[in-house]
Amino acid sequence: MAGFSPRKLSFSIIFLGLMTILGSQAALDVHYYDRTCPEAEKIIRYTVLNASMHDAKVPARILRMFFHDCFIRGCDASVLLDSTPQNQAEKDGPPNISLRAFYVIDDAKTKLESACPKTVSCADIVAVAARDVVAMSGGPFWNVLKGRKDGRISKASETINLPAPTFNVSTLIQSFTKRGLGVKDLVALSGGHTLGFSHCSSFQARLHNFSSVHDIDPTMNPEFAETLKKKCPKPNKNGNAGQFLDSTASTFDNNYYKQLLAGKGVFGSDQALYGDYRTKWIVESFANDQSLFFKEFATSMVKLGNVGVMEKGEVRLNCRVVN
């Protein structure tokens, strides 16, 4: 994966002039910290930029962290809580074992507690950081609505409710609908896979003994399948082996959708988006128009950031433990 450079901060700006989102009981506000912690976003941005310059995997991990947090109990930073002897937390659930990059959020929180104690929630840090990694990688910029509070409950068992790479479109739509997100949100947010890497375990079932009729998933480009087979042989003894989800994996662009058109989606759930009439036209639209994808991705990220928001939680002093 290519390294980071400050020039990637020259991202396209998409201003969403939304002060609050209708239909939510929680009054999130773009200007929530203007008086109480005016430097909050700047502190988060430079913490994330610095971490990304030292580790090119940070952007994909932060973006995935935001998705995985909001899909379980809403955007309440429950994914950041550490397990205890009495409770196994979300971050130790099977889908989250590879999340990592929690140290970046810890670092931002430490700096924020120094600048404005007991003010900025961990949930808001994750939401702002997710926007920043997208923008730093060449993607859109949007105004993040803030004012979330942090939850006190985190259960590894609940991560079973995260969308799986084996889901078909009907199951994906059901999962997103439960969170107030529509079909266009599903396809737009799936584009977050333009940043990212997957280990073989998440897609190797498509490469070996796929069905009684096909050894390889027939929706997969045959040459691409052979490439993946070499990286992920059966049995696979290399736990680090895998594949980037996009051939330009350090740049936020619409190449992910172009790969779906070519049968080169890594996850079955990704490729399924191009094989279903409900989502195929949106995939094609985003593949043909990157600016449209950027606009819809930013809109959907604002909607996702409003899922299950808590107004009456706490502001954790340490993102890993409840107060």
Q: Is 74 annotated as a binding residue?
A: yes
Q: What is the dihedral of CA 147, 113, 69, 18, to 10 degrees?
A: 30
Give the Cβ contact number of residue 313 at 10 Å.
18
d(CA 166, CA 264): 15
Is the pLDDT higher at 299 or at 247? 299
d(CA 182, CA 167): 16
pLDDT over 90 at 302, yes or no: yes
Residue 318 phi/psi, 5° resolution?
Answer: -130, 120
158-202 pLDDT, tens per residue?
A: 999 999 888 999 999 999 999 999 999 999 999 999 998 888 888
pLDDT over 50 at 16, yes or no: no
Secondary structure (3-state) at 318: strand
The pTM assigned to this predicted structure is: 0.88
Take residue 39 and report the two structure tokens written for it. Answer: 């430097």
d(CA 300, CA 280): 18
- 8-17, 98-107, 169-178, 262-271 — which is least confidently predicted? 8-17
Q: Is 253 annotated as a binding residue?
A: yes
Given the residues 31, 54, 68, 214, select the one marked as catalytic: 68
39-70 pLDDT, tens per residue?
A: 999 999 999 999 999 999 999 999 999 999 99
Angle between helix 169-177 and 277-288 (nearest 10)? 80
% of residues, the chain, pLDDT over 70: 92
Which domains does the chain show, CATH number per domain?
Answer: 39-161 (1.10.520.10), 169-304 (1.10.420.10)
Is the pLDDT higher at 137 or at 234? 137
85-141 pLDDT, tens per residue?
A: 999 999 999 888 888 899 999 999 999 999 999 999 999 999 999 999 999 999 999
Q: Is 68 in the active site?
A: yes
Is the pLDDT higher at 24 or at 275? 275
Q: Is 31 annotated as a binding residue?
A: no
pLDDT over 80 at 23, yes or no: no
User: In whole angstroms, what separates CA 72 from the centre of its chain?
Assistant: 13
157-123-120 Cα angle (round to 5): 150
